[in-house]
């Protein structure tokens, strides 16, 4: 595996997790 591929997958995973967390927080009207 290329290092670039690993970094890309890592960034995508963090990005998806951040979006999911933001969506979940907005859905429950809760911060943090």
- Provide the domain limits for residue 12: 1-32
DSSP string, the chain: --HHHHHHHHHHHHHHHHHHHHHHHHHTT---
Q: What is the pLDDT of residue 31?
A: 60
Residues 1-29 pLDDT 10s = 799 999 999 999 999 999 998 888 787 76
Cβ-in-10-Å burial (0-12, 13-18, 19+) of 29 comes to exposed
Q: pTM for this structure?
A: 0.58
Q: To the nearest 10°, the Cα dihedral for 14, 15, 21, 22?
A: 150
Q: Structurally, how many domains does the chain consist of?
A: 1
pLDDT at 32 over 60: no
């Amino acid at each position: 595996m290329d290092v670039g591929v690993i970094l890309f997958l890592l960034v995508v995973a963090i990005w998806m997790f951040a979006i999911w967390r933001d969506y979940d927080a907005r859905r429950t009207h809760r911060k943090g």
